[in-house]
């Protein structure tokens, strides 16, 4: 939305993108200049203005991600993952989807925290002995879950214990 609450003109945006400007920066330039293509072009080609726009775009991205993290955190915790592990995975990977993929792919719950945050030495998870883990890959003897679905079943069994 522009300062006067108008949406960014997609045709003008496509014009700027087609001549080589990054989409996010072109959106910002059009937004700031009320869809005036010439003024947007001036901002995009001015190194100082372009730099300020890049900083603003990155700042907005970070704010959006930070707002999304608490909801993602609660959702992953509600799936049964320990809060400390979820926090570390979200900080490391940034999105709920990437954090969940990482959490589901971990051979043991403690590895998530140690890998994600080197300053954390250990995490006491009730019911999880130091050598015990959630196996998510084939064991050397051929036993163990062979798919993500089986891994999830193993994880659910572990959580119930």
Q: What is the dihedral of CA 91, 92, 97, 101, to 10 degrees?
A: -140
In degrees, rounded to 5, the angle at the alpha carbon of residue 123 between the alpha carbons of residues 120 and 125 is: 165
Residue 136: pLDDT band (50, 70, 90) is: very low
**pLDDT higher than 90, residue 133:** no
Domain-embedded: residue 126: yes
pTM of this structure? 0.47
Residue 50 and residue 88 in one domain: no
**133 φ, ψ to 5°?**
-145, 175
Q: What is the pLDDT of residue 152?
A: 54
Residue 37 and residue 88 in one domain: no
Looking at 69, 91, 125, the residue that finishes a domain is 69
Q: What is the pLDDT of residue 52?
A: 95
Q: Which domain holds residue 17?
A: 1-69
Looking at 44, 69, 94, the residue that finishes a domain is 69
Q: What is the pLDDT of residue 93?
A: 86
- Tell me the pLDDT tens digit for each residue of 24-79: 999 999 999 999 999 999 999 999 999 999 999 999 888 887 776 787 888 889 99
The CATH number linked to 46 is: 1.10.8.10
DSSP state of 8: P
23-32 vs 37-45: helix crossing angle, rounded to 10:
120
**pLDDT higher than 70, residue 110:** no
Domain-embedded: residue 147: yes
In degrees, rounded to 5, the angle at the alpha carbon of residue 109 between the alpha carbons of residues 108 and 111 is: 75
Domain-embedded: residue 74: no
Neighbours of 120 (CB within 10 A): 15
Q: What is the pLDDT of residue 94?
A: 79
Residue 107 and residue 141 in one domain: yes
Q: Which of 59, 34, 29 is nearest to 46 (CA)?
A: 29
């Amino acid at each position: 939305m522009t300062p006067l609450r108008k949406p960014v003109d997609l045709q003008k945006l496509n014009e700027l993108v087609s001549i080589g400007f990054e989409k996010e920066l072109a959106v910002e330039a059009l937004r700031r200049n009320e869809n005036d293509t010439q003024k947007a072009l001036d901002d995009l080609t001015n190194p100082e203005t372009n730099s300020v726009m890049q900083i603003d775009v990155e700042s907005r991205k970070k704010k959006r991600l930070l707002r999304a993290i608490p909801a993602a955190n609660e959702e992953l915790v509600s799936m049964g993952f320990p809060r400390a592990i979820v926090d570390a995975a979200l900080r490391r990977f940034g999105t709920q989807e990437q954090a969940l993929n990482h959490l589901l792919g971990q051979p043991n719950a403690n590895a998530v925290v140690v890998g994600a945050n080197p300053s954390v030495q250990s995490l006491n998870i009730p019911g999880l002995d130091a050598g015990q883990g959630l196996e998510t890959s084939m064991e050397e003897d051929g036993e163990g879950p062979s798919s993500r679905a089986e891994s999830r079943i193993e994880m659910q069994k572990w959580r119930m214990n």
